[in-house]
Amino acid sequence: MSTRKAITEVSRADLGWVTKNVLENKIFNWFLVVLILSAYTSTGFASAMLADPASEIKGYQEMFSSTAICSVSSLDLSILTLTMSSLVPEDLKRRGVEDSNKANAIAASTILLPVLGAALFCALRPSLPEE
């Protein structure tokens, strides 16, 4: 990430087929949001956090300190969430949003809900210019 060159001027014509037709497709992006929400609900995470968040957090802390896979997975998720958040302002600039305060606020908000925040950003972001 630190060695890559930021590209801030892109149009839909510059994109490859998969990016243009799948990743830029709002239906696909909303499908990802629904899929992530279903993971939160089908695993029982949402109901457990609503019922007794203190014991769930305590249980997570115990698992984090006792199992390597939990701590490594948590670190991976944290790195991915922070990486996505750092790319949001650049993506918004590419899409014509010039207000850096607004872009930074949106980037910070994607950190609040790991994975879901990034998916919501992709579903709600403005489209790329057509030219």
**Hey, where are the domains in the chain?**
16-124
pLDDT of residue 22: 95
19 vs 84: CA distance, rounded Å: 17
Q: Is the pLDDT of residue 9 over 90?
A: no
The DSSP result for 1-55, as a single string, is -TTSPP-----GGGS-HHIIIIIT-HHHHHHHHHHHHHHHHHTTHHHHHHH-HHH
Mean pLDDT computed over 102-126: 95
pLDDT in tens, 70-97: 999 999 999 999 999 999 999 999 999 9
Q: Please say whether the beta carbons of 123 and 30 come within 8 A.
A: yes
Q: Is the pLDDT of residue 2 over 80?
A: no
Q: Could you read off the pLDDT of 11-51 as tens digits, one per residue?
A: 888 899 999 999 999 999 999 999 999 999 999 999 999 99
* pLDDT for res 130: 81
